[in-house]
Chain A
Amino acid sequence: MLPMANLACFIRARSGLRSASTHPPPRQYAAPGHGALVIKVIMDELLKLLRRDARATHESLGRQLNQSADAIAQQIAAYEKAGVIRGYQAVLNEDELDLDMVTAVIEVKITPQREGGFNRIAGRISRFPEVRSAYLMSGAYDLLLFVEGRNLREIGTFVSEKLSPLEGVLSTSTHFMLKTYKRLGVLMQVEHSDERLSVTP
């Protein structure tokens, strides 16, 4: 199994390296067995590709990274097992769907607990299915939640009956989302058009 902390450090170190120069270091695509370092460089690029398109086939990924489809499948399986890849989801333009759904962004102030600091209470809050995302923040509040409900009342009920009464929650401030312009790196409003001529020198 991959030691996750190490991997995260490694990925951070790598991206630092890359932005430091226009010429990335020459990348060697060694066959398996040529040392763990080289393999990790490839995995790092694989994750970047999957983050952009999780449905790319193993064959296509393999051709792009000079690997066999089997090798790609193995690396993806290892990432899944290690918990680095935690799922695959479609990026929807929900505004187009006319859904009975509202999203609230809730700022929450909490008191850290004696054992476990912020993590224990954040973990409890995260388990509510209404909570789509939860982050620990620096600044004027501690947690930022993205909460989904069918309407304002439902969100109100979640805040007043489930969130606020929790021990350690000091205060909340709720904002409703009106429109999505960009989500997970994908622009929602812009249609891509290719203005180029069909053959150029």
Chain B
Amino acid sequence: MNDSPSLRNRLNPVVRDIPRSGIRDFFDIVSTMRDVISLGIGEPDFDTPWPVREATIFAVERGATHYSSNLGYLELRQALAQYVARHFGATYNPEHEILITVGVSEALDLALRALVQPGDEVLYHEPCYVSYRATILFAGGTPLAVPTHAANGFRLTRAMLEARCTPRTKILMLNFPNNPTGAIMSRADLEDIAAFVRERDLLVITDEIYAEMTYDTPHTSIVSLPGLRERTLFLHGFSKAWAMTGYRLGYACGPAELIEAMMKIHQYTMLCASSLSQKAALEALRRTETDVSEMVGEYRRRRNFIINAFTGMGLECHRPLGAFYAFPSVAKFKLTAQEFALKLLADEKVAVVPGTAFGNCGEGFVRCAYATSLANIEEAMKRLQRFIGKL
């Protein structure tokens, strides 16, 4: 791009000074190469379940191609209220406590814009999803990263929060199961966090987009703990467990005042989420239980495979308990995560994402997504073993 200095100076400095996502830079390199096996893809390799695609076609035929209400189709909000009550232990009124959004991404943005005033601090744990920091900054907030560590499975503890929290801290953002570490939080872990949140009177935004994908123990949502529902915004969507990334559909559940505020921004900037996607999501809730559990079973076996392969080649990796990422340590090779990933790509044509793309404390780690076929994973593990044998 031709950098025109005058235009550059006229850009909003907040936007101008935020670096592009490290993922994006890495993609630019990988996309120039052929025959790469990519463990860098953070979205399901499975096709969207056929009943959902079929329902989309039917929705087109029937002409569900107009605006829906701002909050989203009531029928879908009702189905979501049931789903959330059944699986996450919190009840929401579909009339005014649920908002359908363009992915969890939009919901995150709306929530932060609705809540953050200049100077407000937002706590979030790192390594984390690439958007959090930028979204907080766009909303005018001050991001406060809390590093988590492999030694305790990348879980968040009360002590870690205490060390960072100040009187200006307003919001705590959570994401478990976690991208990129695969960490989850047990009920006991969450109870400690919940107690802290109540004491400090914080608000919580919990991104539970990987909730269906836990492999050894069932998922617990912080929103089900005493006193949390009133101060929590629960976010979820169809991208991961239903393999519907391109549908761009998510939702937010929370206290009516907050949903109303988010709805206003959504109303003026987005109008509504895609009506076709909403119809598809309704079908996803009604008729894909088996498809989802089959996919989760497959991810579980791939998780086992990849962890057993890492152990076999002496690569240290905490056991991921959810999502579809493994986050092994490559620190012992005396290369930065970025150097390791670039060299692996050049020498063996395997793409992994440097942990630093997810925050500074991701240094020394790489993210390997197992949302790709077992055949690809097997081949990637052979190449990785050969690669580290030569380091």
Provided the pairs A19-B293, A26-B217, A196-B41 are in contact, do residues A201 and B131 lie with their beta carbons within 8 angstroms? yes
A201 touches B130 (CB 8 A): yes
- Across the interface, do A22 and B212 meet the contact criterion of CB distance under 8 Å? yes
Q: Which residues of chain B from 1 to 40 have any CB-CB distance to chain A below 8 Å in the complex?
A: 21, 23, 26-27, 30-31, 36, 38, 40
| CB closest residue in chain B, given A53 | B374
Q: How large is the interface on A (under 10, 10 to 19, 20 to 34, 35 or more residues)?
A: 20 to 34
A199 in contact with B353 (CB, 8 Å): yes
A24 touches which of B36, B293, B308 (Cβ 8 Å): B293
- Contact string against A for B residues 286-310, beta-carbon threshold 8 Å, 1 for contact and 0 otherwise: 0001101100110011101100110
Whether the Cβ atoms of A64 and B41 lie closer than 8 Å is: no
Whether B40 and A200, one on each chain, are in contact in the complex, defined by CB atoms closer than 8 angstroms, is: yes
Contact mask A189-201 → B, CB, 8 Å, 1/0? 0000010111111
Total residue contacts A-B, CB cutoff 8 A: 82
Query: At the interface, yes or no: A23 with Cβ under 8 Å from chain B?
Result: yes
Residue from the list A19, A24, A64 in contact with B304, Cβ < 8 A: A64
In the complex, A152→B353 CA distance in Å? Answer: 59
B217 touches A63 (CB 8 A): no
Q: Does B41 contact A199, Cβ atoms closer than 8 Å?
A: yes
Closest A residue, CB atoms, query B215? A27
Known: A63-B309, A66-B304. A199 touches B293 (CB 8 A): no
Once A19-B290, A66-B308 are accepted as A-B contacts, the answer to whether A199 and B212 lie under 8 Å apart by CB is no
Knowing A18-B293, A22-B289, A64-B374, say if A197 contacts B301 (CB, 8 Å): no
Contact B23 A199 (CB under 8 A): yes
A23 in contact with B214 (CB, 8 Å): yes
B129 within 8 A of A: yes
Give the shortest distance, in Å, between A13 (CB) and chain B (any CB): 16
Cβ-based interface call for B351 (8 A): yes
CB distance from A131 to the nearest CB of B (A): 32
Contacts of A27 in B (CB 8 A): 216, 300
Tell me the bound Cα distance from A180 to B131 in angstroms: 46
Q: With the chains together, A199 CA to B37 CA distance in Å?
A: 10
Q: Which residues of A contact B26 (CB under 8 A)?
A: 199
Complex Cα gap A199–B342 (Å) = 13
A49 and B294 alpha carbons, distance in the complex (Å)? 12
Q: Please indicate the chain B residues that have their CB under 8 angstroms from the CB of A26 in the complex.
A: 216-218
Interface string of A68-81 (1 = CB under 8 A from B): 00000000000000
Question: For residue B352, which residue of chain A has the nearest CB?
Answer: A199
B297 engages A45 (CB within 8 Å)? yes
Instruction: Tell me how many residues of B have a C-beta within 8 Å of chain A.
Output: 41
Cβ of B143 under 8 Å from chain A = no
For the complex formed, measure the closest distance between the CB of A124 and the CB atoms of chain B, giving whole angstroms: 38
Alpha-carbon separation in the docked complex, A136 to B27 (Å):
55
Contact A65 B304 (CB under 8 A): yes
Nearest A residue to B309 via CB reads: A63
Would you give the 0/1 interface string for A3-28, flagging 1 where the beta carbon is closer than 8 Å to chain B?
00000000000000011011110110
The complex places the Cα of A61 from the Cα of B42 at a distance, in Å, of 25
Alpha-carbon distance A115/B266, docked complex (angstroms)? 73
Distance (whole angstroms) from the CB of A18 to the closest CB of chain B: 6
Determine the distance from Cα of A200 to Cα of B324 in the docked complex, in whole angstroms.
13
A200-B289 contact given A22-B212, A64-B302, CB 8 Å threshold: no
Give the residues from 33 to 89 in chain A that come closer than 8 angstroms, CB to CB, to chain B: 45, 49, 60, 62-66
- Chain B residues contacting A66 (CB-CB under 8 Å) are 304, 308
Give chain A residues whose Cβ lies under 8 Å from the Cβ of B191. Answer: none
Measured CA separation A182–B45 after assembly (Å): 21
A127 to B43, CA, bound (A): 49
With both chains docked as a complex, state the minimum distance between the C-beta of B84 and any C-beta of chain A, in angstroms.
12
Within the complex, what minimum Cβ distance (angstroms) separates B91 from chain A? 18
**Bound-complex Cα distance A200 to B372 (A):** 13
Q: How far is the CA of A132 from the CA of B194 in the complex (A)?
A: 63
CB within 8 Å of A: which B79-135 residues: 87, 129-131
Asked if B130 contacts A199 (CB within 8 A), the reply is: no
CB of A6 to closest CB in B, whole Å: 23
Residues of chain B lying within 8 A (CB to CB) of residue A200: 23, 27, 40-43
On whether the beta carbons of B218 and A65 are closer than 8 Å, the reply is no
Closest to B292 in A: A22
Within 8 A of B (CB), among A152-199: 194, 196-199
Q: 15 new A-B pairs (CB below 8 Å) besides A45-B297, A200-B41, A201-B23?
A: A22-B289, A22-B292, A23-B218, A24-B293, A45-B301, A49-B301, A60-B378, A63-B304, A64-B304, A65-B304, A198-B27, A198-B41, A199-B26, A199-B31, A199-B38
Q: Which 3 A-B pairs have the closest CB atoms?
A: A199-B40, A64-B301, A199-B27
Task: Return 19 A-B CB contacts under 8 Å, by A number.
Answer: A23-B212, A23-B218, A26-B218, A45-B301, A63-B304, A64-B302, A64-B304, A64-B305, A65-B304, A196-B41, A196-B43, A197-B31, A198-B27, A199-B23, A199-B41, A199-B351, A200-B40, A200-B43, A201-B179
- A residues contacting B by CB (< 8 A) are 18-19, 21-24, 26-27, 45, 49, 60, 62-66, 194, 196-201
